[in-house]
Structure 1
Amino acid sequence: MTHVIAQPCVDVKDLACVDECPVDCIYEGTRALYIHPDECVDCGACEPVCPVEAIYYEDDLPERWNGYLSDNVAFFEERLPGQGEPLGSLGGAASLGVVAADAPLVASQPEGVAL
């Protein structure tokens, strides 16, 4: 199980969750943040600091945002537009910096439009 960042984070990317994460498992895409499902230890430290309430434990993800679970996984397991090989497990986000891409669901959304 893991935590998932859903739609309210798209085009916001506050980064408070990144600062709070003790295992550096929150990666930054162009328009959203993504929690690595294999690196997350489910501590939940990221959840209460999110100013837009976008972070949910996988089982508590609201139904309207169910697609963000697979989109979050896709960010790490699929070849993203403009990227080489899939990111895979990197062992920490800090050394990677911003990934100049987003997972398919996030990338397909109009910019600046809350869904």
Structure 2
Amino acid sequence: MTHVVTEQCIRCKYTDCVDVCPVDCFREGPNMLVIDPDECIDCAVCIPECPVNAIYAEEDVPSDQIAFIKLNAELAQAQGWKSITKRKPALPDAEEWKDKPGKIAELAR
């Protein structure tokens, strides 16, 4: 099993989770993070760190977010999505986006 970053991260990109990850499995895209399923050790320490509740164990991903399991695996390997291991500031308008649903169209690859 692995953990999955879901839609809530889009246009926020809080990075609190990367500071606690013992295996550096997070990858950073233009406006969200993903978890590399080949690197994740299923420790779950990232879940409580996410201020927008965007991270789930794979078996707990809400039914309307299932596509993010495949999307995390795909984007973790995408060119330009580099490993992130240190916290950095969230996106400038993260507070405006953090509670908005239906952000998949906002995903920047």
Shorter-chain-normalised TM-score: which range?
A: 0.7 to 0.9
1:101 — aligned with what?
Answer: none
1:109 — aligned with what?
Answer: 105
Please give the residue correspondences for 1:56-95 in structure 2 after superposition, counting only pairs within 5 Å.
Answer: 56-77=56-77, 80=78, 83=79, 93-94=83-84
Report the Cα distance in structure 1 between the residues aligned to 2:42 and 2:7, rounded to whole angstroms: 20
2:46 — aligned with what?
Answer: 46
Measured at CA, do residues 25 and 110 of structure 1 come closer, stay the same or move farther in structure 2, by a change above 3 Å? closer
Could you list the runs of 4 or more consecutive aligned residues of structure 1 that deviate by over 6 angstroms after TM superposition?
A: none
Aligned residue pairs: how many? 90
Compare relative contact order (CA 8 Å, sep 6+) and give the higher one, 1 or 2. Answer: 2
Report the Cα distance in structure 1 between the residues aligned to 2:32 and 2:20, rounded to whole angstroms: 17
Please report the RMSD computed on the Cα atoms of aligned residues, expressed in angstroms: 2.4
Unaligned runs of 5+ in 1: 96-107
2:32 — aligned with what?
Answer: 32
Superposition TM-score, scaled by structure 1 size? 0.70
> Between the two proteins, what is the percent identity of the paired residues?
43
What secondary structure sits across from 2:4 in the alignment? strand
Superposition TM-score, scaled by structure 2 size? 0.73
Report the Cα distance in structure 1 between the residues aligned to 2:60 and 2:28, rounded to whole angstroms: 22
2:14 — aligned with what?
Answer: 14
